Chain A
Amino acid sequence: MPLLALNGISKAFGGHPVLNHVSLEIESGEVVAIIGRSGSGKSTLLRCINGLEVADGGTIVFDGRTFQSNRRQLKELRRETGIVFQSYNLFPHLNVERNITLGLTAGKGLSQTASKLIAIESLKLVGLEDKIKSFPLQLSGGQQQRVAIARALAMQPRLMLFDEITAALDPELIGEVVKVLEKLASDGMTMVLVTHEMRFARSSADTVIFMHEGKIWEKGPPEKLFNKPETSELASFIEAILPVNVGIL
């Protein structure tokens, strides 16, 4: 049974359709990379998975349980998922430790001591234990993003969502973040990433999904999608993103 199943998700913004009956199944432990041009609906799809966007139509089935599109149920859905944003969205008025423990103490009701232990563990995973007392503004972009990942991981979600998390980073800082992603993937976390990082998609993703105009245009393992695209849209997209491309894995 798949961990997550989206059935016929549709979403329109102000009459303008962004998602068009999208259906998708994700197995536990699977790493899914979603690629596509801007406006293809990939971010919206991701945000529908944890209820930040409320789908107009379709259902979400998580771990066998169907979630309706109302606030309370989506709130519960959010408990199972963690998300990392493009602009990190750390809380600037709190230090790193508090950023991470806030969700644990105020959100999950854990004790201060238990939360702190979990926070330290999460920071170890991303390699930033020594920054526990720093404030977000004192950290580099890459470090802030890793803290954001730690914050999401601390909530112990079943599924992790990543919304173009390297898009706002300077090139030399991307590497440290990608390393964390690779580690997470090899540890067996179920991950869905909207990304432009093709290196990661090729090397670590189990499935790559190409979205175009609100629909899933192509779907399959990276070797297939990148080397043998079936549609012209995907082919031209790959050409635009990876100039030195075909035949090289």
Chain B
Amino acid sequence: MSRGLGINEFLFILESVRWTLLLSLIALAGGGVVGLVVALLRVAPFAPLRWLAIGYIQLFQGTPVLMQLFVTYYGLVVLLNLQVDAWTAVSLAFTLYSAAFLGEIWRGSIQAIPRPQWEAAACLSLGFVKQLWYVILPQAMRISIPPTVGFAVQLIKSTSIASIIGFVELTRAGQLMTNVTFKPMIVYPLVAALYFLLCWPLSLISQQLERRIDASLGIKRHL
């Protein structure tokens, strides 16, 4: 019962790109907010808070995404007795994953702002929170954009792993179409091409942005 690779199959794959992007955006937005919290904990003057943040970051950066998906999903089901649907579980897992990486990016950006900026703000009667909000974060955000775009590429690629637990996004769509059309030599390269179209422009933009920021701020990059 194999259908040829017709226009319907092609459109199905194309539409699944939507889900990939949606998941990535959710993770990026959620991860951005949580990541900010992580970053602030990471630089807190209180040591146990710092360790908490460091542990969190190490955990999500040192384990496979697939494992994170499994543990999140089964953790929710078993520990909290919640029957969650695929979207919730996957969104949560990827949000936590993003938060770890974005947290590190945020931290680097915040620490890149020179101390005198903090001091000048303090001498204008601004408390810590206001210093952060009006002076430090706006500048940090600018610095954090290139690495964030770079991470977005990593994130989009990672969403492909959700296919393993059956979540329908681009890779899963590819699998489904392969099962139906029996033409993997066309389907999978097509899927790869679509990812490429999503990621490559972002990679280029990220590289360009890095070069511009380096030039204008004269910050030395670590290799």
Question: CB–CB under 8 A between A and B in the complex?
Answer: yes
- A102 near B134 with CB under 8 A, answer yes
| Interface residue tally on A, bucketed by range | 20 to 34
- Is residue A249 within 8 Å, beta carbon to beta carbon, of the partner chain? no
The yes or no answer to A244 lying at the interface (CB within 8 A) is: no
Assess the B116–A82 pair: CB atoms within 8 A: no
Q: Is A103 an interface residue (CB 8 A)?
A: yes
Most chain A beta carbons < 10 A, residue from B117, B123, B127: B123
Confirm or deny: B120 has a beta carbon within 8 angstroms of a beta carbon on chain A.
yes
Question: What count of chain B residues pass the 8 Å CB interface test?
Answer: 17
Q: Is the CB of B139 within 8 A of A103?
A: no
A106-129 contact mask (Cβ, 8 Å, vs B): 1 or 0 = 111000000000000000000000
Binds B, one of A83-91, A172-180, A192-200, A220-228: A83-91
Query: Taking the nearest CB of chain A, how far is it from the CB of B135, in angstroms?
Result: 6
Name the B residues within 8 Å of A103 (CB-CB).
124-126
B116 touches A151 (CB 8 A): no
Given contacts A91-B120, A106-B130, A107-B130, contact A155 B125 (CB under 8 A): yes
A52's contact among B119, B125, B130, B134, by CB below 8 Å, is which?
Answer: B119
| With A91-B135, A93-B142, A102-B134: A152-B123 Cβ-Cβ less than 8 Å | yes
What 1/0 mask marks residues of chain B from 139 to 163 whose CB sits below 8 Å from any chain A CB?
Answer: 1001000000000000000000000
Residues of B within 8 A of A90 (CB): 120
Given A89-B119, A91-B139, A93-B142, 9 other A-B residues pairs in contact with their CB atoms under 8 A: A79-B125, A82-B123, A85-B116, A85-B120, A89-B120, A103-B125, A151-B124, A155-B124, A155-B125
Across the A-B interface, give the 5 residue pairs with the lowest CB-CB distance, nearest first.
Answer: A103-B124, A107-B125, A89-B120, A89-B116, A93-B138
B interface residue numbers (CB < 8 A to A): 116-117, 119-127, 130, 134-135, 138-139, 142
In the complex, 29 of the A-B residue pairs with CB atoms within 8 angstroms, ordered by the A residue number, are A52-B119, A52-B122, A75-B122, A75-B125, A75-B127, A78-B123, A78-B125, A82-B123, A83-B123, A85-B116, A87-B116, A89-B119, A89-B120, A90-B120, A91-B117, A91-B120, A102-B121, A102-B124, A102-B126, A102-B135, A103-B124, A103-B125, A103-B126, A107-B124, A108-B125, A151-B124, A152-B123, A155-B124, A155-B125
